[in-house]
Amino acid sequence: MSDKRPGRGAEQFMLRLPDGMRDRIRAEADKHGRSMNAEIIARLEATLDGPLALVTGPGSTSEAARAAAELAQFIQSEEARPLVNALLRKVRVNRGQPESDSETPDKMGRE
């Protein structure tokens, strides 16, 4: 009898986990409504293909620092002001605070 369940023909890899990690993976998988295997695959794909790839690849420390400096410089620019103010309004609304345009990018984080 042939097993036709999805993934049975996929590559397999034996993995040793530190104490307690299996339970943590199980809890996260349950929280997201997926199997442990699907949870592990989702986490790996996010790290290898997503925004985290920037900070885990070769030269990642210098690349991440360069990107952070570039972003900080852009946030302070006049060009970014409308976008930053719109984001600040959304943050205030999500926090239950009144909307206001009085806060400028140079005042961010000084509450």
The pair phi, psi for residue 74, each rounded to 5°, is: -65, -45
Residue 105, domain member (yes or no): yes
Residue 26, domain member (yes or no): yes
Q: pLDDT tens, 7-50? A: 677 888 899 999 999 999 999 999 999 999 999 998 888 777 76
Q: 108 and 83 in one domain? A: yes
| Structural domain range at position 88 | 59-111
Q: 37 and 69 in one domain? A: no
Owner of token pair 């986990």 = 17
Q: pLDDT tens, 73-85? A: 888 888 999 998 9
Q: 68: phi > 0 → left, psi -120 to 50 → alpha, else beta; which?
A: alpha
Residue 2, domain member (yes or no): no
Dihedral of the alpha carbons of 87, 89, 94, 95, in degrees to the nearest 10: 120
Q: 85 and 46 in one domain? A: no
Q: Is the pLDDT of residue 55 over 60?
A: no
Task: Report the alpha-carbon distance of residue 84 to residue 90 in Å, rounded.
Answer: 10
Domain count, the chain: 2
